[in-house]
Amino acid sequence: MSLPIIDTFGRKHTYLRISLTDKCNLRCTYCMPQEDMQFMPSKWLMQADEIEELAKIFVDMGVDKIRLAGGEPLVRKDAGDIIERLGLLNTSLTLTTNALLVHEYVDNLKSAGVQSLNVSLDTLKEEDFKKITKRDHFYKTFDNISLLLDEGFTVKINMVVMRGVNDTEVNDFVRLTLANERLHVRFIEFMPFNGNEWDMSKIVSYAELLSGISNEFAFRQLPGEAHDTAKTFQVEHGAGTFGIIGTVTHPFCSSCNRIRLTADGKLKNCLFDTSEVDLLTPLRQGEDVRPLILTHFNRKFFAHGGHMAFEEKQAKSDYEQNRKMIAIGG
Ligand code: SAM
Ligand code: SF4
């Protein structure tokens, strides 16, 4: 086994998130900027063989969990092949998806041993779904969440909570978790990325979320695991759980174990750090990319790519230069 990926703060990085594409069949306002997106030409993208080769290198360096994301990972024509190849590695494998195409991949997911998927859904109202995603696919998403549950998968719904947009629906999402032990909801604080018109006033904070939920439900906090991004709770007599990912007001950087690989093969050591290292070009030239990986993680900041407070002027100019969320991979 090669050297593990440990940064100067002693954090061991064991969780690899691979973006398969920057393309998507939705246009969520908080993720994809409103101006016309220029997508990466396909020759820039890592090919299935290259994804597999890089994943094997990371596994050799201690990675034990891989998540595929995007853009929408399932719009890639070879997504089924990639899922099956990565399923053969000695890691757990999972996906973050908007679920629109999952019905085409149920067999691939099962044969790759995927047990749990994160699915983005920000509203339970058809009209608001159209406003948020700019597409009319609410029922398809909802039906595919049901399909995944019927097929035995665990589903974690990711809801980005935005003031004045969908914040009045939080308790309706909590209610979804009451009856099914394989259905969980994660409320995510709205995060700043290039072009997504973020500002602090649009965040519904961790504390506000808990207070609003406690107006309707009695719940308890569940014990967490070392690298959890969400604090997890369960309503009394509820079957599933709800969690809050408080990236902005409750950062979890001190236990971060995440490695991000963009669809064009760039390594990011933090979602919010603008610096990247190209792994794909050296890989194509037959070079060993391990030293590049170790050096890049040796430079990792303690928190938020060097910023504790997102509203600071310097942080703002940084996240405005960072990639758009759709091109990083969630
Ligand atoms: N297309 C897939 C999906 O929507 O699940 C995967 C990619 S998406 C970029 C990954 C996750 O990032 C989604 O759960 C999405 O809600 C989240 N996300 C995107 N932009 C965000 C933002 N500005 N703040 C918080 N979460 C965000
Ligand atoms: Fe697409 Fe997911 Fe971004 Fe929405 S959040 S635009 S579904 S990549």
Any idea what the CATH number is for the domain that residue 112 is in?
A: 3.20.20.70
In the chain, the N- to C-terminal Cα span, in Å, equals 28
State residue 227's pLDDT score. Answer: 83
In angstroms, the CA 307 to CA 318 distance is 9
Is residue 180 left, alpha or beta, with left meaning phi > 0 and alpha meaning psi from -120 to 50? Answer: beta
For residue 8, being part of any structural domain is answered with no
Residue found by looking up tokens 């969980």 in the block: 184
For residue 187, being part of any structural domain is answered with yes
Instruction: Measure the CA angle with vertex 28, ends 24 and 34; round to 5°.
Output: 95
90 secondary structure, DSSP code:
S
Atom index in ligand 1 nearest the CA of residue 192 equals: 23
Q: Give 267: exposed, middle or buried? Use CB within 10 Å, 0-12, 13-18, 19+.
A: buried
Mutate which of 20, 72, 117 for ligand 2 pocket (most atoms within 8 A of beta carbon)? 72
The domain total for the chain is 1
State residue 98's pLDDT score. Answer: 98
Is-contact 273 315, C-beta < 8 A? no
For residue 4, being part of any structural domain is answered with no
In angstroms, the CA 178 to CA 239 distance is 5
For residue 162, being part of any structural domain is answered with yes
Domain that holds residue 174: 15-328
pLDDT along the chain (330 residues), means of 10: 91 97 93 79 94 98 97 97 97 98 98 98 98 96 98 98 97 97 97 81 94 98 89 96 91 90 96 90 98 95 71 61 65
For residue 49, being part of any structural domain is answered with yes
d(CA 47, ligand 1 centre) in Å: 23
State residue 223's pLDDT score. Answer: 94
State residue 175's pLDDT score. Answer: 98
Is-contact 56 88, C-beta < 8 A? no
State residue 312's pLDDT score. Answer: 63
For residue 283, being part of any structural domain is answered with yes
Of 263, 265, 272, nearest to 292 (Cα)? 265
Give the list of residues 6+ apart from residue 150 with CB closer than 8 angstroms, or none.
none
For ligand 1, atom 10, name the residue with the nearest CA. Answer: 330
Residue 36: in which H helix or E strand, if any? none
For residue 236, being part of any structural domain is answered with yes
For residue 3, being part of any structural domain is answered with no
